[in-house]
């Protein structure tokens, strides 16, 4: 995508947000807005300039180097698999897959320090991979591509699917604290309902199938109790529990998570949170999805049907996950002469 397209996208998107506010009480206006957003972002999410093997000539050992480093890391710190997979999602959903989530600012006003990203871990692992690549091929491999490759490699390391990662992303120079918490364009929160989730994914050129497939990434990793505490203790403000959650599961979670607990972690997929499999879908169908956004997948015919399919013998989850990850990895990418290739992932050149 050319620089003129990028400028046009940013300007038009800002105008669309204004239009949304104006049409908020008009259902037809909202429908028209959604069509405009989808049309605009489908152009923005094409991933032009990306290809498998982008570094074949400039750094032929790039993917091997990433794989080697990650094999060593996973051998000693397998619990980082979930956070490192989630990092790619958090990066792509804000400003596109440009490595903006990695930037440190002295003022702590970058994405990394925004509330939804405070639970991310493994930034030092990205730095470790970057250091190894800089020794072999100085100034060649972008941090945005490292995040994408690492996400694939931790999935494989936890017995998940392998997919060919398109590379060629450039690193962005902008990272804003406010972006992840923007009510319209920010990261979908853990309490998001199915309508909000579908809108958030659609705005980025991802469909309902992508939503349920990528949610399956919750098969690895953990979540802070504070992300679902209200479901256990005060769902409607009356000291009640979430009626959509299995009551026996609630009782078990209460043993681990006490009110106002800000530090304790709970497994998103109890019993196999270090193994990439389809058990997350089984839990959700049994009303044992940990987050409200997990439980929300039961409230849409398409996502619910996929949940049921994925616990049958005809599951296509592994194949679908790779396809959706490639698709997500194309969101808002910078390529060609856009952006830069950072020498250090935490700061611009």
Entry pTM: 0.87
What sections of the chain are H helices per DSSP?
3-23, 27-44, 62-76, 81-92, 123-136, 143-157, 194-202, 208-215, 229-233, 247-256, 279-285, 292-295, 301-310, 317-328
* Annotation marks residue 44 as catalytic: no
Q: Which residues are annotated as a binding site for substrate?
A: 188
Query: Locate tokens 């093997």: which residue?
Result: 53
Closest CA to 156 of 276, 279, 46, 8: 276
Residue 226 lies in a domain: no
249: in domain = no
List residues bridging with 222 in a β-sheet: 267
Cα separation, 213 vs 5, whole angstroms: 30
> Binding site for Ca(2+): what residues are annotated?
91, 96, 98, 100, 111, 219, 269, 277
For residue 46, the model assigns a pLDDT of: 60
CB atoms within 10 A of CB 243: 11
> Most distant CA pair in the chain: distance in Å?
62
d(CA 200, CA 6): 20
Whether residue 164 is contained in a domain is answered as yes
Distance CA 178, CA 113 (A): 10
- Which residues sit in the known binding site? 91, 96, 98, 100, 111, 188, 218-219, 269, 277
- What rounded mean pLDDT belongs to the chain? 89
The per-residue pLDDT for range 231-250, each reduced to its tens digit, is: 999 999 999 999 999 999 99
Number of separate domains in the chain = 1
CATH number at residue 76: 1.10.520.10
Count CB-CB contacts under 10 A for residue 340: 18
Q: Is 267 helix (H, G, I), strand (E, B) or coil?
A: strand
Q: Which of 98, 120, 101, 95 is nearest to 186 (CA)?
A: 95
Indicate the annotated binding residues for heme b: 218
Nearest to 243 by CA among 287, 207, 286, 281: 287
Which member of 5, 44, 88, 90 is catalytic? 90
Domain that holds residue 287: 61-221+268-330
Given a cut of 50, the residues of the chain with pLDDT beneath it are: 1-45
Answer for the pair 340, 173: CB distance below 8 angstroms, yes or no.
yes
**Dist CA 306 CA 124 (whole Å):** 36
């Amino acid at each position: 995508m050319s620089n003129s397209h990028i400028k046009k996208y940013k300007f038009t998107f800002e105008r669309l947000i204004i239009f949304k506010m104006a049409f908020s009480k008009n259902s037809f206006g909202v429908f028209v807005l959604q069509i405009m957003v989808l049309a605009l972002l489908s152009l923005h999410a094409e991933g032009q300039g990306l290809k498998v093997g982008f570094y074949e000539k400039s750094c032929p050992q790039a993917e091997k180097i990433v794989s080697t480093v990650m094999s060593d890391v996973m051998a000693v710190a397998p619990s980082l698999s979930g956070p490192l997979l989630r990092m790619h999602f958090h990066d792509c959903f804000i400003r596109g897959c440009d490595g903006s989530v990695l930037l440190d600012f002295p003022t702590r006003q970058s994405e990394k320090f925004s509330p939804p990203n405070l639970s991310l871990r493994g930034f030092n692992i990205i730095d470790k991979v970057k250091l190894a690549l800089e020794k072999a091929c100085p100034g060649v491999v972008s941090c945005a591509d490292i995040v994408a490759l690492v996400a694939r490699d931790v999935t494989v390391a936890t017995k998940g699917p392998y997919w060919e990662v398109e590379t060629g992303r450039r690193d962005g120079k902008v990272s804003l604290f406010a972006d992840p918490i923007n009510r319209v364009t920010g990261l979908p929160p853990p309490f998001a309902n199915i309508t909000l989730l579908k809108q958030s994914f659609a705005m980025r050129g991802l469909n309902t199938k992508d939503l349920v497939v990528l949610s399956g990434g919750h098969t690895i990793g953990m979540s802070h109790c504070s992300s679902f505490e209200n479901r256990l203790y005060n769902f409607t403000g009356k000291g009640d529990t979430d009626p959509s959650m299995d009551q026996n599961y609630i009782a078990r979670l209460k043993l681990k998570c006490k009110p106002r607990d800000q530090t304790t972690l709970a497994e998103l997929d109890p019993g196999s949170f270090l193994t990439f499999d389809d058990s997350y879908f089984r839990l959700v169908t049994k009303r044992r999805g940990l987050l409200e956004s997990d439980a929300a997948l039961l409230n849409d015919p398409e996502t619910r049907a996929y949940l049921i399919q994925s616990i049958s013998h005809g599951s296509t989850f592994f194949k679908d996950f790779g396809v959706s990850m490639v698709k997500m990895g194309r969101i808002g990418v910078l390529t060609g002469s856009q952006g830069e290739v950072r020498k250090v992932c935490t700061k611009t050149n």
